[in-house]
Structure 1
Amino acid sequence: MINTYQTSLAPPPVPPRLSRSQPILIPAPLPSKGHSKPLIRFLVGVLVVHLFLSLAAALYLYLRHQKEDSVRSEEKGLTSSRTSSLLSEKRGKSTKASAHMVIVNKRTRPNRSSGYLEWDIKASVRKHINYYETSWLTILRPGQYYVYSSVTFSKGDPVRPLVSRVQLRKDKDGQATVAMQASCYLKSGNSSTPNMCTATQGGLITLVEGNQLSVWVDNLSLVDYLNTATTFGMYNVEDS
């Protein structure tokens, strides 16, 4: 007997049981507005602190830069002041009045007996001191001067001593007075060996502008006119 209920088709699926519950996907709810406010406040606070720190750092750098510039300016000012002081001191030393006069080299002795010695202006050295008629030196800057003279005599005088005098007068029209005097001894008479002596003097004299000085001798014919033997000069030691 043939079984007519068998077939080659697969059996139908078993329906799900009603007792097992299936998971249902539900979307997560969005965060509420109340929870986002603290986050916003925190971010705003961070930005404010960052801005404050940036401003503080900028202010600190600016003040430090200003301080360094001030220190540099002060150091530069001190350096300039010291340099100016040294230059002024050096300038003051280099511009002090001075003179060194050498006598005119004469081959023939003058016929005049007494008078003022004449100086070789071109061969002499002067700084801030003028001359008048080749015999007088004129003071241009007041102060205390060291004045010196060295007069060499090559012949003796049987009557008068060999004397040189530094003469001082107020100005070119003033009366001359003796400021310094020196003498030397030289035996007179004919001798196979030439004799010479030098009257040397020097001292401090306070002078004012316009004062004039020169060297006077009693007998010009007895002076040695070699320019290294007879000189006259002065230099300022203290400006007034």
Structure 2
Amino acid sequence: MINTYSSNLPPPPVPPRPGTQSSMRNWTRSRSHVRFLCAAFVVQTVVTIALFLYLFQRIDAASNENNSTFNNDLIVLKRLEECESNSLDSGSLLDCSKVLQKFQGIISKLSQIEGKAWGLSAPGTPSGTEARAQMTIMASSGQTLKWNPDYSMLKNVEYYTRSRSLQIRVPGYYFVYSQVTFSKAHPKTPLAQFVMRRRSSAERAGEDLLLKAFCSPGSNDLCTSYQAGMFRLEEGQQLYVNVTDSSLVNFEVTTTTFGLFLMQRVP
């Protein structure tokens, strides 16, 4: 039989393969992610370069300012040196007088500022006159405790090994403290420590008691006595620590100590 049927319609499209549409979507997403990462990298690079340039300009400006200040200082010092010479004419001498007046004004302002700073930090205590001492104990015998100056802290206070005493160099009001630990009790005498003051020969000669403290050992045969006070001390006066018996003292550096520090200087 002969097929006489004919049609002018185009053939139907080929159906897509399974998974083709999902692959296209994934590729589109990947391309979007790559674009986003590239844009973020470009923005970060631009910001980093901008910050670097800003910091470089700030550092360069600060360096130029410091160099300018240094150069100005050199010019002023050179001008002062020229003013010191005798080969200047009358006009130059007039300029020198103006420079010296300005220089003296700056010095006076600096002195006032330094004076205010000291007034806030330590009233009545000028710079360089602080005095303090913290002594490290040494094993010894006798009534007066002995200290090791090589391992002690001393500033503007002298330690005399022979008398085992601290001598005051800067007069003023001092905070004095003393701590003594006893390892066992005395059979007859209570355990006690005394901070003594020896007056110089220029004053009324003699000694007086500043502080006194007792302690009684407990079941562990150890007891610690501590005492402290504020005293006005004059130049040349000496302080030392007496105990009932130094053979009963615990000579560990953390248990027995003696010291003082200047609170306010007096003329």
Q: Report which stretch shifted further, 194-203 or 93-102.
A: 93-102
Give the structure 2 partner of residue 209 of structure 1.
235
Asked which structure has the greater CA Rg, the reply is 1
1:33-182 correspondence to structure 2 within 5 Å? 76=106, 80-85=110-115, 92=126, 95-104=129-138, 106=139, 110=141, 112=142, 115-132=143-160, 133=162, 135-171=164-200, 174-182=205-213
Q: Secondary structure at the match of 2:180?
A: strand
Is the contact made by 1:119 and 1:134 (CA closer than 8 Å) also made in structure 2? no
Q: How many residues align?
A: 162
Query: CA offset at residue 81 of structure 1?
Result: 3.7
Which structure shows the higher helix fraction? Answer: 2
Q: Which has the higher contact order (CA 8 A, sep 6+)?
A: 1
Q: Distance in 1 between matches of 2:104 and 2:170?
A: 37
Query: CA offset at residue 75 of structure 1?
Result: 8.5
Unaligned stretches of 5+ in structure 1? 1-68
TM-score by length of 1: 0.58
TM-score by length of 2: 0.53
Residue type of the alignment partner of 1:144: Y
Unaligned stretches of 5+ in structure 2? 1-98
Query: CA offset at residue 82 of structure 1?
Result: 4.6
Is the contact made by 2:129 and 2:170 (CA closer than 8 Å) also made in structure 1? no
Is the contact made by 1:184 and 1:199 (CA closer than 8 Å) also made in structure 2? yes
Q: Relative to structure 1, is the Cα distance of residues 77 and 215 closer, same or farther in structure 2, using a 3 angstrom cutoff?
A: closer
Q: Distance in 1 between matches of 2:107 and 2:197?
A: 47
Question: 1:23-82: per-residue Cα shift (whole Å, max 9, x none)?
Answer: xxxxxxxxxxxxxxxxxxxxxxxxxxxxxxxxxxxxxxxxxxxxxx9xx88995675245
Question: 1:173-215: per-residue Cα shift (whole Å, max 9, x none)?
Answer: 943221110111114xxx7xx4311110000111111100100
Q: Distance in 2 between matches of 1:152 and 1:203?
A: 19
Residue type of the alignment partner of 2:150: K
Q: Relative to structure 1, is the Cα distance of residues 207 and 78 closer, same or farther in structure 2, using a 3 angstrom cutoff?
A: closer
